[in-house]
Structure 1
Amino acid sequence: MLTSLVVGVLLMNLFAAALVVARAPVYRTRLYRPMLLNLVLSAAPLVVLGVAVVLVLPLLVVGAPRAVVGVIAAVLGLVWLLLLPNSGYLITELNLNHRQEGERVPEWYDVLLVLVLAMSGVLTTVLNVFLVLLVGLAAVGDDSATALTSPQARAFEGALLLLVAFGIYLGRHVRLNSWDVTHPHLVAGKVLRHLRSPGARGNAIGFTLLGALFFALMYLVVIGPVVQGLVDLERLRDAGAG
């Protein structure tokens, strides 16, 4: 089940990239490079998560000092969290801003393109949240499927999705990038100035809550059956062992 989920998300991302690249030669127009950049940034959290697994879990197995492992995990976790909103950010491509007057690209192609692009971002987001939950449970030595349905797991997932939604808002409306965090004072000043503008706080709260709800529903649809399947398999295994 997990393999199918990962493969499906990767294929959706490849499909989106293929549509973006094919658009230029097929319809003899320019390649819209920002979309490709956004796709790369969308995949970046998965790459960081993979690096974290390759580095951190072996260190735990060989009994490396907990302080060293904790620092490495914290740094990689922060990088992953800062990059995570880039995946969900692809939903903002639905505005069709890439269409230029005079292009011969059919509207149906661009509608399909942005839908696939947005879905790749949504699926990548929910996969990231699920995988980091699995990694976290493995790190604390809890490999039971029922742990995935605990209140702590639900709170963790909800908090991450709220941060994702708020990060998307900051990216689209405040024009912040993940790497801007290297200038924290400038970022804080820019965010505060934006939130002081008329109506900005209401928009930020509304988008964050509704955006998080959207991602939560998608998480339920996509990840819910996987979790239920793992729980059922665990129960069957336990029943057979008993």
Structure 2
Amino acid sequence: MLTSLVVGVLLMNVFAAVLVVVRAPVYGARLYRPMLLNLVLSAAPLVVLGLAVVVLLPLVVVGTPRPVVWVVGAVLGLVWLLLLPNSGYLITELNLNHRREGERVPEWYDVLSVLVLAMSGVLTTVLNVFLVVLVALVVGGVDSAEPLTGTTARLLEGVLLLLVAFGIYLGRHVRLNSWDVKHPRHLVRKVLGHLRTPGALGNAIGFTLIGATFFALMYLVMIGPVVRGLVDVEQLRNMTGS
């Protein structure tokens, strides 16, 4: 189940990249490089998460003191969190702004391309959140699937999705990037200055809540059956083992 989920998300990202790349030679149009850059940035959180697994799991296995594991995990987790909105950001590319007058590209092709691009971002976001919940439980010493249905997991998922939605808002409307965190004072001034403009705070709250709700529903559709399956398999093994 989990393997199918990961493979499916990766294939959706590859499909999105292929559609962007082949558009140029097939229809004699220019290559729209910003879409490819956005896809690379969308995949970055998964790369960081993979690095975190490679680093953290051996530390847990060899019995490294918990404070050390949590510090390393917190640093990698912060990097991951700063990059995560780049995945969901692809939903804001659901438009045809890249079309140029005189290009022979059929409208249906571009409509499907941006739809695939947006969905790849949604799926990547959902997968990232689920995997980081799994990693957090493993690092915390949990060796059962049951906690995936618990309050702690739900709270973590909810907080992460709210942060993702707010990060997307900052990227689209304040034009911030993940690496702007290198200049925290400038970043804070820019965000506060934006939120003080008339109507901006309401728009930020509305976008964050609606965006987080959308991702939460997608999470429920995608991850709910996987979690239920993992719990059922574990219960079945416990029953047969006893």
Q: Give the TM-score category using the shorter length.
A: over 0.9
Shift of 1:241: 2.1
Which residue of 2 is the match for residue 10 of structure 1?
10
TM-superposition CA deviations, 1:172-231 (whole Å, max 9, x none)? 000000000000011101101110111101100000000000000000000111001111
Runs of 4+ that moved beyond 3 A: 65-68
Aligned residue pair count: 242
Gaps of 5+ in 2: none
Is the aligned partner of 1:90 residue 2:90?
Answer: yes
Shift of 1:75: 1.1
State how 1:47-126 maps to structure 2 within 5 Å.
47-126=47-126
Which residue of 2 is the match for residue 170 of structure 1?
170
Matches of 2:213 and 2:144, distance apart in 1: 27
**Paired residue secondary structure (1:95):** coil
Gaps of 5+ in 1: none
Letter matched to residue 129 of structure 1: V
Please give the root-mean-square deviation of Cα atoms over the aligned residues, in Å. 0.9
Shift of 1:65: 4.0
Which residue of 2 is the match for residue 142 of structure 1?
142
Letter matched to residue 15 of structure 1: F
Matches of 2:215 and 2:161, distance apart in 1: 7
Letter matched to residue 176 of structure 1: L
**Paired residue secondary structure (2:94):** helix
Matches of 1:59 and 1:228, distance apart in 2: 29
What is the TM-score normalised by the length of structure 1? 0.98
Shift of 1:145: 1.1
Matches of 1:194 and 1:173, distance apart in 2: 9
TM-superposition CA deviations, 1:129-175 (whole Å, max 9, x none)? 00001111111111211100001100100000000000000000000
Letter matched to residue 106 of structure 1: P
Matches of 1:155 and 1:215, distance apart in 2: 14
Which residue of 1 is the match for residue 151 of structure 2?
151
Indicate the larger mover: 57-66 or 177-186. 57-66
Matches of 1:53 and 1:166, distance apart in 2: 26
